[in-house]
Amino acid sequence: MLRFVLALIFIMGLLLNITCAIAQEYPNHPIRFLQGFAPGGTADTIVRILSTEMEKTLGQPIIDEARTGAGGNLASDVTAKAQPDGYTLALLTTGHVISPAIYKSLSFDPIHDFEFISTVTEFPFFIVTNTQSFYKTLQDLVAAARAKPGSVTVGTAGIGTGQHMCSELFATTIGTKFIHVPFRGGQAAVLALLGNNIDFIIDGGTTVFSGIEARTLKALAVSGAQRWPSLPDVPTVQESGFPGFEVLAWAGVATTKGVPKPIVERLNKAIRSAIASPTVSDRLRSLGGIPRTSTPEEMTAKVTDQIALWKAVAEKAELVRQ
């Protein structure tokens, strides 16, 4: 028995030394950084911004790679099935926690197949109308929706997107229903709003800021707990009379389950260093984001909590698919 215990201690020590040696050498060749949306979009832009700054810390090239499809799930699937060596990273977005809420099965486990490294940024949504609309305040919009449930139309970037789920949670909060009109992307929803084909949209700053600045769109409220700095006159949903309502989309970085902890910690430090750079943080704010890093444990808790939240919303809105 003693020999067995000593042998076990020896093997554990050997494995620890090997792990430490691998971590010390990491990285010694290029890293690929996946994102699951179209090139040129917000996710792609975040990856490129981060990659440029993280290369300075890690000393190796970071190759940006778009694996588009299934609302970001293709990139998640590739990452989940990669070698657990820290050379495959993925930018996860709100879609990662919404997918298990609306699909009964996925090709990966959204929690247990990943090592979560750090959040990067959070994005509030804006509730926006056409400036010609007779809905001048959020209270106007809510009053109309409550007076005739199912009569007010909301456009979003698609079924199961963060924008869609935000609209469903808001409808539940105010005790009514909207008619959901999904589009292929936020810009298509904006065009429909400008053409008076829908009543309002819910989307992030990158989609609506230019229209607000041009005075063709009017923001009625912001979904975060605080007003947006460049739109100080736009109240939060909470300030508009709906306490407790707060929805923030987010983006964060993960890698494959089983990547050694020292490598995860090094990547966490590289991300924190990148976000601390004024160049990166200012660029994220210009995209409508709030720079926000975390520990791996905090990101794991966030993903777990958000999956539970959106599952409850999806079930109430009867959005669960096969």
Dihedral angle of Cα 151, 157, 161, 162, to the nearest 10 degrees: -80
Residue 135 within a domain: yes
Peptide bond into 27 cis (omega under 30): yes
107 and 206 share one domain: no
3-class DSSP state of 202: strand
**pLDDT score of 14:** 46
> pLDDT class for 81, splitting at 50, 70, 90?
very high
- Residue 111 sits in a domain whose CATH number is 3.40.190.150
18 and 94 share one domain: yes
Residue 31 within a domain: yes
Residue 111 within a domain: yes
- Residue 179 sits in a domain whose CATH number is 3.40.190.10
Q: Where are the alpha helices (DSSP H) in the chain?
A: 2-25, 42-58, 73-80, 95-102, 138-147, 162-174, 186-194, 205-213, 261-276, 278-286, 296-316
Residue 293 within a domain: yes
- Residue 247 phi, psi dihedral angles, 5° rounding: -130, 125
99 and 178 share one domain: no
Radius of gyration of the chain (CA): 22
37 and 92 share one domain: yes
Tokens 């306490």, located at residue: 243
Above pLDDT 70, what percent of the chain?
Answer: 93
Residue 159 within a domain: yes
202 and 216 share one domain: yes
Contact at 8 Å (CB) between 64 and 47? yes
Tell me which amino acid residue 218 is: K
143 and 170 share one domain: yes
Instruction: Give the mean model confidence (pLDDT) for residues 27-55.
Output: 93
What range does the domain containing 165 cover?
A: 126-222
> pLDDT class for 159, splitting at 50, 70, 90?
confident
> pLDDT class for 17, splitting at 50, 70, 90?
very low
Residue 229 within a domain: no
* CA-to-CA separations, 111 to 80, 97, 169, in angstroms, rounded: 10, 9, 23
More confident residue, 245 or 9: 245
Q: Averaging pLDDT over each range in 27-41, 60-74, 78-92, which range is the top one? A: 78-92
**pLDDT score of 320:** 80
pLDDT at 165 over 70: yes
131 and 118 share one domain: no
> pLDDT class for 7, splitting at 50, 70, 90?
very low
168 and 99 share one domain: no
65 and 210 share one domain: no
Residue 243 within a domain: no
> pLDDT class for 214, splitting at 50, 70, 90?
very high
> pLDDT class for 2, splitting at 50, 70, 90?
low
Domain boundary among 187, 222, 257: 222
Residue 218 within a domain: yes
* CA-to-CA separations, 235 to 3, 23, 121, 211, 231, in angstroms, rounded: 69, 47, 21, 18, 9
pLDDT digits (tens, 9 = 90+) for 253-306: 999 999 999 999 999 999 999 999 999 999 999 999 999 999 999 999 999 999
* Of 4-8, 42-46, 98-102, 159-163, the least confident: 4-8
Mean pLDDT taken over the chain = 92
